[in-house]
Amino acid sequence: MCPLYHTPRTLPRRMVLSRVSQLLPNAGRPARPHRSDVAALHRGRRRRQRRDRGAPAPPSAHAVYRPLVGGGHPVANGNAMTFLAEINVKLGRLCDERGRVPPGVGESLIASSAFWVSHPSGPCHAPGHAKHVTESRRALKIKFGSNTFNISSAVQRCCETMKQAATKWAKGQPLSRNVLDEKLRENLQRSVEGRHGSEYRHYPIDEDQLVFGATAIDAGAFLAKLLEGIPIAQICAARPPTPLSRPMKTCPHCGVAVRVERFENHVASKCPKRR
């Protein structure tokens, strides 16, 4: 039986605690965390720091991609799939699958595109507006009077448009530069919220600017900063057919899709059902 239970009630509290510490050496001390737990805490802290300052996250081990070999047009190297993978990775650093945009990205976009249009000396750049970017319901927004520009919504829509344009390019149906620019600017026009929180269908653009009283967001500067490093000229350029757009034919025996020019050789010698 534990001798602590035989301690008389008149024993001072200090002596009781000392007796407990003798019986249980680790009593009153926090348990020492395991090395794996400490490493996980450090990883989480670094991840939160990168998210707060908008730094790109390192590539995941499950999403490894190889860079373009030799430079130049990706079709010349026959690696259109790698080109698409790089586009998706770059766009994923701007907006994740849940539509969340890092605060650093939103602030840099506003700092590059905000202008003071009613300045006595004429319109001038106003990067200080980046300090007014707030996060509401996991969305980055900036308020201009009674209207609010939803930065996260604009970035998410522009990223989706770029992914669709890259997919069309891979299928041999590239969009023209004018059509792509028009779609991107429509995304900005639809990302403006009114007084009651509802988005405008088509907020007006005056001289390539979304004007909010004395302040304006330059659409060209916003898109240039957002798509910095994205090869828009290559996405909009016509290209010769690649394996992604070549016609395929299904083998009636094994059900495998084979290129038309290799179909006869497959049926004659490579089909596993015909051997």
pLDDT, tens digit, for every residue of 103-112? 999 999 999 9
Over its C-alpha atoms, the chain yields an Rg (Å, rounded) of 30
Tens of pLDDT, residues 88-146:
888 988 998 888 999 999 999 999 999 998 888 878 999 999 999 998 878 999 999 89
In the sheet where 192-193 sits, what is the strand order? Answer: 134-136, 139-144, 147-150, 192-193
| C-alpha closest to that of 123 among 217, 191, 225 | 217
CA 164 to chain centre: 15
Is the domain of 117 the same as that of 199?
A: yes
pLDDT-based confidence at 73, cuts 50/70/90? very low
In a domain, 16, yes or no: no
Is the domain of 222 the same as that of 137?
A: yes
What's this model's pTM, rounded to 2 decimal places? Answer: 0.59
In a domain, 125, yes or no: yes
Largest CA distance in the chain: 100
Is the domain of 239 the same as that of 204?
A: yes
Is the domain of 113 the same as that of 227?
A: yes
Helix, strand, or coil (residue 224): helix
Q: Give the structural domain span for 109.
A: 99-244
- Asked if 130 and 107 count as a contact pair (C-beta separation under 8 A), the reply is yes
Is the domain of 236 the same as that of 255?
A: no
In a domain, 233, yes or no: yes
Residue type, 106: G
